[in-house]
Structure 1
Amino acid sequence: MSLYGTMRTGVSGMNAQANRLSTVADNIANANTTGYKKASTQFSSLILPSTGGAYNSGGVTTDVRYSISAQGTFTYTTSATDLAINGKGFFIVEGTDGQEYMTRAGAFTMMDDGSLQNSAGYTLMGYEYSSTEDPTIVVNGFDGLQQINLSSGALNAKGSTAGALDVNLPSNEEVGYEKTTSLVAYDSQGNTRLIEFTYTKTADNAWSVEASYDGTTIAGPIAMTFDSEGQLLTPSPATITTTAQVIDGANLNALSITVGGSSQLASAFDVSNGKIDGNGASKVTGYEISDDGIVSLKYSNGELTPKYRIAMASVQSPDNLKPLPGNVYSQSNESGVVVMGYAGTNGYGSIISGALEDSNVDIAEELTSMIESQRNYTANSKVFQTGSELMEVLVNLKR
């Protein structure tokens, strides 16, 4: 056995325990870091070939692993922009370098420009929301993502396009009887426009309805006929369609008003259902984030309008992602390719608004590891010291 080899083995052991102690120090320092995933040190022996009955001591090498796939507990907060993922997946964030990264650190705060940034300065990314279909995503890349912005709709106005007006027309009135009611619609600039509907009895079980705005006819007269039970027969389909108007530079869209619930019974004229879509100009007063990642803006008129869908990502081997400063990760050769998706679909976890994922560090476990590392470091130093002393004895044999 080589005394030099013994000393080198002792040094190898001390270096390995120093590495372990470094991961312990990082874990303890980040025990309260949102979304932090602990590091651990794995040891592997280095065996040298032995010849002629002499044993050659090798040493030990270390490999640092990260428990990225191990989920932490949750801490609930009062901020709707604090986000946690319950299950598989990562948020996509953009750094100041313009590159996209993955993270579980969801302590996002709305900045003065409306963007959402976490405590490390990374901006949350997603797709523009569509009410008819999920946004098209690039499955294996970050193309098409945009910054989620909560002030993108500081003022909102939506022109009316459809509504409903169900009335009862009194069957016991004389021919020529006339009654008027109205609906408030919104033009493209959010102005209110009063649409009047005039019903006139033309014969038994027969009426006409005309829609007008400011004295100008925009639909009708349209014939409405009823059966002997007072149920609507025509028009079929039971819809009144108005013509579009340009009013003071704003567009009043063509309106499709359903009247299928109208009746003709021996009772007074009555409106049982009158509604129309659209809204006037209103300010953003808040926001909501659903468990499937839909970001909706809340307006002063009470309307909740979906604007974005938070994107999520995953890889085949999350524990092999490359950790970077700021508690973010990037793809590595061992992790596999990035696969995109949405919360609550294809195995991705749900998003919890008003919560943060805690670090998965166990302080008791780390302190135990610290004591073990300290004792093992001391033991390896004794091996080195003993080798050094034997070398001194060998040198002094000549005296």
Structure 2
Amino acid sequence: MSLYGTMRTGVSGMNAQANRLGTVADNIANSSTVGYKKSSTQFSSMILPSTAGQYNSGGVETDVRYSISSQGTFSYTTSSTDLAINGDGFFIVTGEDGVNYLTRAGAFTLQDDGTLQNSAGYTLMGYEYDSAADPTIVVNGFDGLSEVNLSGSGISAVASDTGILAVNLPNTAVDGDTKTTSLKVFDSQGTSRLVTFTYTKTATDNQWDVVATDPDGNTILSETLDFDVDGKLTSTPDLTLTGFTQGGAEVPDIALSIAGTTQLASDFSVQNGKVNGNAASKVKGYEIDDTGVVSVAYENGDLVPTYRVALASVQSPDNLNPVAGNLYTQSNDSGVVVMGYAGSSGFGSIISGALEDSNVDVAEELTAMIESQRNYTANSKVFQTGSELMEVLVNLKR
């Protein structure tokens, strides 16, 4: 057996245990890091060719693996912008370099510029929310993403443009009888304006005229309502209130549904009356649901969706490339990045007000540290023994 080979094997073993101690040190240091995924050192033997009469000692090789797919436990917080993923998927974040990265670290905080950044300074990415349809996702790329930005969500006022008013008109009314009610609508500056509706019985059976006027008394709707023998509306159930301007603000045309209006043997009553829009209101906070829809909560109780957080996944998460800042990038072995939304096929749900803990087991790491220390010492003894034997061989010449 080669003495030099023995010493090389001892050095190989010490290097391998040093690598293991390095991963243990990283894991312990990041045991409290949000979303951190532990690393581990795997060993494999390195065998050199030997002959029948002489053995060539080899050594040991190491390979570092990451438990990225192993989910940590959750810690709950009081911040609605702290996010955790329950299941598969990664948040997409971007740094000052403009490069997009994957991460499970969801400790996001609202910045002065309206963006949401995690503790490493990376900005959360998503899509602008559209209530009519989800945005078209580039499945295998980050195209179309934008920074989730809440800077434009200060005091909000939304003008009314749709509404509903369903009433019952008494069938005992005679020609010329009138009934009156009103609806509160909102103008473009958030001021409420009263629209008055006057129902007048005509000389024709089962027929009423309805006139709506703005606060200045101008007519903005005039329509005849017809009912069948059962007292149900036969004329169009969809009307339009003509827009008007008052006090320098505008009320746009309002699509008004009167479906449900009846003429029955009962007193005049309003069955349903409401319009959309809202008065000027300040931001109270933010809400993020389990599908990743980011909504601005106003003091008047309104929730206005603004963005939807995007998630990404790969076929082999454990083969992603780790990057400083608790980030990951795609590698040749991880597979392509696939985009989607929380709650959709292949993606977990988002938990607001929670953070994913590190998946490091400190007790397990301390055990590994002791094992590595003992093994390092044993390998050093092999090297020391080989060195001493080499010294004996050198001294034979004397």
TM range (shorter): over 0.9
Counterpart check, 1:218 vs 2:198: no
Read off the aligned partner of 2:307 and give its amino acid letter: Y
What CA distance in whole angstroms lies between the structure 2 residues aligned with 1:52 and 1:228?
A: 110
- TM normalised by structure 1 equals 0.96
Read off the aligned partner of 2:88 and give its amino acid letter: K
Name the residue aligned to 2:276. 277
Name the residue aligned to 1:98. 98
Deviations 1:287-336 (A, max 9, x none): 11101101111112111111110010111111111111111111112111
CA displacement at 1:264 relative to structure 2: 1.7
Counterpart check, 1:176 vs 2:176: yes
Name the residue aligned to 2:20. 20
What CA distance in whole angstroms lies between the structure 1 residues aligned with 2:229 and 2:95?
A: 71
What CA distance in whole angstroms lies between the structure 2 residues aligned with 1:150 and 1:289?
A: 12
What CA distance in whole angstroms lies between the structure 2 residues aligned with 1:152 and 1:357?
A: 29
What CA distance in whole angstroms lies between the structure 2 residues aligned with 1:314 and 1:2?
A: 50
Read off the aligned partner of 1:176 and give its amino acid letter: G
Deviations 1:33-73 (A, max 9, x none): 11100000011211111135211111111111100000011
CA displacement at 1:205 relative to structure 2: 1.6
Counterpart check, 1:35 vs 2:35: yes
- TM normalised by structure 2 equals 0.96
Three-state SS of the structure 2 residue aligned to 1:199 is: strand
Read off the aligned partner of 2:393 and give its amino acid letter: L
Name the residue aligned to 2:80. 80
CA displacement at 1:397 relative to structure 2: 1.1
Counterpart check, 1:304 vs 2:303: yes
Name the residue aligned to 2:361. 362
Name the residue aligned to 2:289. 290
Deviations 1:205-239 (A, max 9, x none): 2111112212221221x111223332222x23x12
Read off the aligned partner of 1:309 and give its amino acid letter: R
Three-state SS of the structure 1 residue aligned to 2:202 is: strand
What CA distance in whole angstroms lies between the structure 2 residues aligned with 1:296 and 1:92?
A: 19
Identity of matched residues, %:
70
What CA distance in whole angstroms lies between the structure 2 residues aligned with 1:173 and 1:66?
A: 80
In the alignment, structure 2 segments of 5+ residues that lack a partner are: none
Three-state SS of the structure 2 residue aligned to 1:240 is: strand
Supply the RMSD in Å over aligned alpha carbons.
Answer: 1.4
Read off the aligned partner of 2:199 and give its amino acid letter: Y
Three-state SS of the structure 2 residue aligned to 1:232 is: coil
Three-state SS of the structure 1 residue aligned to 2:282 is: strand
Q: Is contact 1:151-1:284 (8 Å) kept?
A: no
Q: Is contact 1:201-1:207 (8 Å) kept?
A: yes
CA displacement at 1:389 relative to structure 2: 0.7
In the alignment, structure 1 segments of 5+ residues that lack a partner are: none
Name the residue aligned to 1:322. 321
Three-state SS of the structure 2 residue aligned to 1:223 is: strand
